[in-house]
Chain A
């Protein structure tokens, strides 16, 4: 087949580019260790979420020296905790979020960051986050979930370590 040498060169360059893109993603994944949201959060009975021990009283609790588990329930049109009172986590911590939905598909993002996950009824989204300095951030639902979707927001406060009280919303 008659391919002009310039186009052959571009074909090679394109393949190099593609491999470069795949390589950087694989690097972030394998070396930096950033995992994707997947099925490791497990399931929940969508008809009985509030009976589940994880989500009956959604809160942040300490599970290790600088490690915390945060349970969040998403529903039309609030996060619990998060909307009516901020989620609170201490600075310099690693927090494992477990997020699920009572009703439809929602999204959960700490605004302007890469802490971002879908929230699907029947599934638990597990996402681990590193927080450094004290700050305040917004959270919002970024998946259309019905007519009140635009009001589904909240906040998360990263407080100095000695100020974190531990406990629920």
Chain B
């Protein structure tokens, strides 16, 4: 569909996906933090809780 709009050619050897690395590292941290938060909500809260 779209026009090419390509400004330059980047080959296999010259490409290091640093942006991807940064984004995925942030995602990793979010996952770990959210998992711990969920765990706390479920097992460390008050109220009736399942044991077995």
B-chain residues with CB within 8 Å of residue A64 when the two chains form the complex: none
Task: Give the distance in Å from the alpha carbon of A28 to the alpha carbon of B35 in the complex.
Answer: 13
For the residues of A in contact with B, the DSSP-based class is mixed
Say which size band chain B's interface belongs to.
20 to 34
A-B contact count (CB 8 A): 66
Task: Give the distance in Å from the alpha carbon of A33 to the alpha carbon of B51 in the complex.
Answer: 7
The stretch of A52-60, A99-107, A113-121, A159-167 in contact with B is: A113-121
Selected contact of A24 from candidates B24, B39, B50, B52, CB within 8 Å: B39
Say which size band chain A's interface belongs to.
20 to 34
Q: How far is the CB of B31 from chain A (nearest CB, A)?
A: 7
Give residues in A with beta carbon < 8 Å to B: 4, 6, 9-10, 13, 17, 20-21, 24, 28, 32-35, 94, 110, 112-116, 127-133, 135, 137, 156, 158
